[in-house]
Amino acid sequence: MRADVPRFADFERVVLFSGAGMSAESGVPTYRGAGGIWKQYDYRRYACQDAFDRDPEAVWEFHNFRRGLVGACAPNDGHRIVAQAQKALPCVDVVTQNIDGLHQLAGATHVVELHGSLWRLRCDACGATTHTRDAPLIDVHCPCGAFWRPAITWFGDPLDDAVFSEAARLIAGCDLFVAVGTSAVVYPAAALPQLAKRGGATMVEVNPEQTDASDLYSVHLRGTATEMLAKMAG
Ligand code: APR
């Protein structure tokens, strides 16, 4: 482990790759580990297309609960540091696995949402889409009468091809890759950091804990997102 902290300003093309730990200090629960969502809720009942086909009301109850919870959370200093770096430096891109929209609320302007957004809905019956950030609890029916579904990637769903390609392009071309707050166990997103490594980027992992992917990184910043991103921006 190297003790020195790479600075955003010393690189030309920075990609910040965020996971649930990025929003933990905002009060959004992570998925795994103590207090993780998937410890309390079985994703097979609440977060896959089969469950939605079987019992859309139960799936919506879970997602309306999450929308209420996440809707009450505000961006933290880590989100603000990233948004500020995007404004101050020529090329800082965010590729996030998060569906909470907190990077954008903090002012980030270019965010690739690999797993969609809790605040977008789509109707698979008529093809309608809508955006509902202002209403944490919603009528779960599309005007056509069918159920809306959250426009997010559930277990077993394919990722949007265009979104994944954009993420891969940015990551393959960066010279500083910073993974923040991800356990890096969910594919295909978890394969993306390898593109940065192959491209020769400086690889930084920000996480209070070791992860299954830690070996990929040359710099391990063992602390919280807010603390470590402040050092990288300093
Ligand atoms: N700062 C930085 N990292 C943190 C913090 C913090 N304050 N708190 C927790 N972490 C770390 C944990 O140590 C853990 O490694 O954040 C990571 C969160 O891991 P997960 O809960 O597995 O979240 P994530 O990697 O984003 O999950 C990936 O899984 O269920 C799917 O689609 C969902 O996008 C999600 C994907």
**CA nearest to 96, candidates 180, 155, 31, 33:** 180
CATH topology of 1-27+76-115+159-234 equal to that of 29-72+118-152? Answer: no
Give me the residue spans of the domains in the chain: 1-27+76-115+159-234, 29-72+118-152
CATH architecture, range 29-72+118-152: 2-Layer Sandwich (3.30)
| Alpha-carbon span 109 to 137, nearest angstrom | 26
R_g (Cα) of the chain, nearest Å:
18
Residue with CA nearest ligand 1 atom 5 = 21
- Which residue of the set 79, 103, 115, 220 is catalytic? 115
Amino acid letter at 208? P
**Amino acid letter for position 26:** S
Q: Residue 94 belongs to what H/E stretch? A: strand 92-96
Output the pLDDT for position 3: 53
Q: For residue 141, indicate whether it is catalytic.
A: no
CATH 3.40.50.1220 fits 1-27+76-115+159-234, yes or no: yes
Going by C-alpha positions, the residue among 188, 187, 229 that lies closest to residue 205 is: 229
Q: Are 159 and 113 in contact (CB under 8 A)?
A: no
CA of 182 to the centre of ligand 1 (A): 4
* pLDDT in 10s for each residue of the chain, 234 residues: 445 899 999 999 999 999 999 999 999 999 998 889 999 999 999 999 999 999 999 999 999 999 999 999 999 999 999 999 999 999 999 999 999 999 999 999 999 999 999 999 999 999 999 998 877 788 899 999 999 999 999 999 999 999 999 999 999 999 999 999 999 999 999 999 999 999 999 999 999 999 999 999 999 999 999 999 999 998
Q: Which residues contact 61 (CB under 8 A, 6 or more apart)?
A: none
Report pTM.
Answer: 0.96
